[in-house]
Structures are given as C-alpha cells and as structure tokens.
Chains A and B, each alone.
Chain A
Amino acid sequence: MGLFTNEDQVVCTVGALKKSVYQFHRVNSSFFSHKIMAALKLKKSVVGWFTLAGGVIGFFSGFFLAIYTSVQWNLIVGGKPIVAFVPFIIVGFEATILFAVFGNAIGLLTQARIPSYKWLKNYDPRCSGKHFGVLASCKPGQVDELKNFFQRQGGEIREFDDHRQAKPPSWQG
C-alpha cells in the first residue's frame, strides 16, 4: 500500500497503476474525493436505479393503500368523495420516500456487498486520518519494483504479507 497525504498524488498514482503491470485494488480515503473518483473511472453505480424503482413502487403503493382502505370503509365524510386524490397525495408521497429509502438500502446492501469484513483486510488505520491509501499487488518478483513505484510517486510504503485480496465491489469493474 502506498500512503499519501496529497490528493493529487493519489490521482497520479492511480492513473499510473492502471497503466502498469501491477494489479490495482482500491483507494482508502477518509473523505469523498471527486478527483479520486474521476481517476478510478468506476462504472456508474446502479444504486440510484434501486432508489428510483423503490420510489415509483412506493408512489403507486401509497395511492393503492389509501384507495383500498377507503373503499373498504366506504364512508362519505363531510361530503367528500370516497376516492379523493387530493388527500391521497400525502400517503402517496410518504410511501414514495419510504420505499425509495428501502430501495436505496437494498441497492447498497446488494451492490456494495455490505457488510464486507474481508474488505477491511490490508487496511492502514492512518487512512481514517489524513492519509490516502492506494493498495496494489504484484507478483513475488516485482515487490521491490512496486515499492520503488510508490516511492517515486511520493508515497510511504506499507507492506502486507496477505496475498489474498478482498474482492472489490461489482460496480468497481
């Protein structure tokens, strides 16, 4: 793992790693970085579609619930129609939000493989502070070359003996 304190160095390192013979695994950062995300060139997350699907299902479910229960009681109150869309919008809206959140949570759990205990293997706690960690692996004979590579990029080296890397999430490509 190469440990960096500069965001731009991480961007350069990721770009160079992707063109190299080494296997790039992941970047650990204590905050979200647009620059690093752009350098990683990740496939677009599909979690948004889960959220949208949840929202659309919720919208219709909310209306269905309101209409169904009103029809079951079949009581005219204050001269209002039994199936009245104006007040049902509230139920539809609330159900939209609720189901969108469910969809989002399901999307996160299925697509990001949360919880993943293997994911935190080969992790340096400094990446929860001011450091960025760039994790890469290589063949046994290339260890020194990889260390030199990270050093040339301006990073500190942290070596892990465990060669079994956690599988990245499916959307990472």
Chain B
Amino acid sequence: MKEINTQESFLQKTLRFWVVIAFVLIGFATFIYGVFGPHPERAWQAYLINFLLWSGMAQGAVLFSTVVHLTKARWSGPLAGLSESFSAFFPLSFVFFLLLFLGKTHLFPWLNEDLAEKKIWLNIPFLFWRDFFGLLILYGIGFGYLNQALQLKLDPNQPQMGIRKLIYKRWKQNGNNIELIENRMTIWGGLYILAFALVLSLIGYDLVMSMDPHWVSTLFGAYNFVKAFYIGLGALIILASVFYLRYGEASGLTSSHFHDIGKLFFAFSLLWADFFYVQLVVIWYGNISEEAHYIIQRTMLADWNSLAWAVLILCFVLPFIVLLNKKVKTKPIFMIPICAVVIIGIWLEHLLLLGPALSHNPDSIPLGVSDGLIFLGFFGVMAIAVTYFLRRFPELVRYKENKVA
C-alpha cells in the first residue's frame, strides 16, 4: 500500500500552491478595488455572499463529524476525520464576520428605513453583538469537540509541536481513556449540533432575511442550516475525492464510502428542495402582499426568474437525476463536478436572495467578473485553511481501524 507522507506532499511550494495564493490575492485585490471604486455596494454584496457560503460550508462539514459520532455511523470511516479539517476555516470566518461591520452602510438597506417596532431587533449594535456571540459559541463548541476527537486520532509517533503538543498532553491527562473521550465527544457533538441549528438560523434571519425587513418566513432559519449541511457534504465529497484520486486505497477511502456519502448528499438535495418549496407554497397560498412581493420579484420577474430556475436546476434537478444512478455515487471523478455544481448553485442562490434587496438596479442581476474573482479568493482561503489543518494533523488522512494505543 502506498504510504501517504502528508507532511511532505501538502503545502509544498508547487504550482498548485502558487495558484491558490494567486486566487487569494486576486480575490482580495478585486474586493479592495471594488470597495474603493464607484460601486462599493457590489463588492460588499459579493463579500457577504461568499462569507455566508464558505462559512456555512465549513460549519456544515464539521457537523458531519459530530452527526456520525452521535449516531455511531461506522460507515463514515476516514470521512469524519477529513470533515474536521474544515474547522480551520472557523477563525477566518470569524474575522470575515467582523469585517462585515465596515460595510454595514452598504449591506443593510434597512438602516435608512423607518422600522417602527422592528427597530428593537434590527439595529446594528444588537445585530452584530448577537451574531458575534453566536459565532463565538458555535466555533468554541466546534473546537471543544475537535479537542476531544483529535485525541483519538493523534499518532503519538509523529512529532508533537504546537497545537499537537497540547492535544497530546490532554490525551495523556485523560489517561488514554478512549471511553471517557468518546463520552465527552458525544456531549460536545450534541452541543455543536444544537448550536449549529440555532446560530445558523440566527445568521440566516439577520444577514439574509433582514435585507428585506418587511418580509418574514419562519422557516428561513431551518432552510439556512439545511443548506449549510448540504454544501458542507458537497465540499467534503470533493475533498475526499481529491484524496482518493491522488492516493487511491491508501487514503483509507473506498468506493463504498463514496456511495454512502453520495446517498446522504442525494437525500439532502431532496431536503433542500423540500425546504425551498414549503416556504414557497405557504406564501403562494397566503398571497399576502408583504410576503408575495419577495417571491414574485425573485421567481416571476425578469431577469431574476431565470436565476431562480438556474438555482433550482443546479441545486436540485441536476443532482437528483444524476445521483439516482448508483455507479455515479461511487465514482469520485463524477462526484467532484456534481458537488461543485451544487456549491455554485448555492452561491447563485445567495445572490438570488440578497441581490434584489442590495442592488441599486434590481431589474438586472448584479453578477460580473468581480463576483467570480472574489469567489475564487474565498476558495483560495478555504483551500489554504484545510491544507494547513491536514498538514498539522496528517493522521486525519490515513484512517486506522484501531484507535491510537
């Protein structure tokens, strides 16, 4: 079996490394140019969309590890370890959230509106403080879970430095007691799942739904965290596929892992469509002008209606039809483009939800090259974060049936 030397193979200054760095720099430069250009609102809109997309992806991917631990799903194998690598994006996501404050005048259209009694909830200090603490709690619990989970995966034969040393010390302090650590993982994992649902609901209400402050959907929070788990699974499949294509069976991944997680991804394409639809049908039946205008603008009026169809096709119709086939789910080479299409679909879906409220010209879709470049910048940041984490914890790639002795 081919041995994976993760320390050597990751983040070497290869062409790939420089390409990723170039993505980050281009994305950053585009954003800065946009902020100081004639249309800073466009740059901030792209920033917010990407913040929501990539943060949700990281939060959703880590959720996978907690869920498979709590449900004792042995089928996940090395996928659980890989999903934990997305936690490296948590601190960056937190910083990105703080930076949103700088663009508040461009991001919250309700700042100059008379919100009457809603002002108690929708005001900048309260919004930022509650989201600040929400994310802090979510990420804190996430790291609490990882602190336990990594103890079971840490290879004592690897050099223990920095964060590894800390985790190894904890492992020793816990007396190598696997049962104790697994029980703690269950508590931290359960808390993470709860925090995930609550905090992502809050983020959905505050940073997406509030952009149209007179529109209300009580299901929007649930829709937001289901979407985050959906793209989290997509990103995890892409990461696992990259490893499988590069290292084959030595990665510990098999086609049955892809089949199983492919089924879960397929199920979440249905669940996402369900949440998309159940909000729509209630508003359709109610036909109340405060609610209906939001849907009419996004699904019936040009040009947004074409974007709405594109989102539905990319996030549901296409993956649903393709993933009906068993063989496709077992082939990483096919799963990469399918998952990428879904992630791009959700990126466009954020634009669909936010664009009409934030754009000065709501009749046309504010989508240009700069949006794509900022997307690439965030992709680069995520790639570097995940790679850095896997470099620190190469054990997550090489799965072992038996836990560290």
Contacts and interface: CB of A to CB of B under 8 A. Distances in A.
A76 interface: no
Chain B's interface: helix, strand, loop or mixed, by majority?
helix
A154 B301 CA distance: 72
Interface string B14-40: 000000000000000000000000000
A89 interface: yes
A37 to B, nearest CB: 13
B285 A87 contact: yes
B287 A78 contact: yes
Contacts of A52: 324
Chain A's interface: helix, strand, loop or mixed, by majority?
helix
Contacts of B277: 89
Nearest to B286: A78
B280 A80 contact: no
Nearest to A86: B284
Contacts of A79: 287
B58 to A, nearest CB: 32
Give chain A's interface residue range (CB within 8 Å of chain B): 10 to 19
A52 to B, nearest CB: 8
A90 interface: yes
B172 to A, nearest CB: 38
A92 to B, nearest CB: 11
B281 interface: yes
Interface in A117-156: none
A90 B287 CA distance: 18
B287 A86 contact: no
Interface string A73-86: 00000111000101
Contacts of B284: 84, 86-87
A9 to B, nearest CB: 21
Contacts of B287: 78-80
A8 B280 CA distance: 52
Interface in B279-304: 280-281, 284-285, 287
Contacts of A84: 284
Interface string B213-255: 0000000000000000000000000000000000000000000
A87 B256 CA distance: 38
A148 to B, nearest CB: 36
B359 to A, nearest CB: 26
Contacts of B324: 52
Contacts of B285: 87
Contacts of A89: 277, 281
A46 B284 CA distance: 40
Nearest to B283: A86
B322 to A, nearest CB: 14
Contacts of A80: 287
Contacts of B256: 34
9 A-B pairs with the lowest CB-CB distances in the bound complex, closest first: A86-B284, A86-B281, A78-B287, A87-B281, A89-B277, A86-B280, A87-B284, A79-B287, A87-B285
Given A34-B256, A87-B281, 8 more contacts: A79-B287, A80-B287, A84-B284, A86-B280, A86-B281, A86-B284, A87-B284, A89-B281
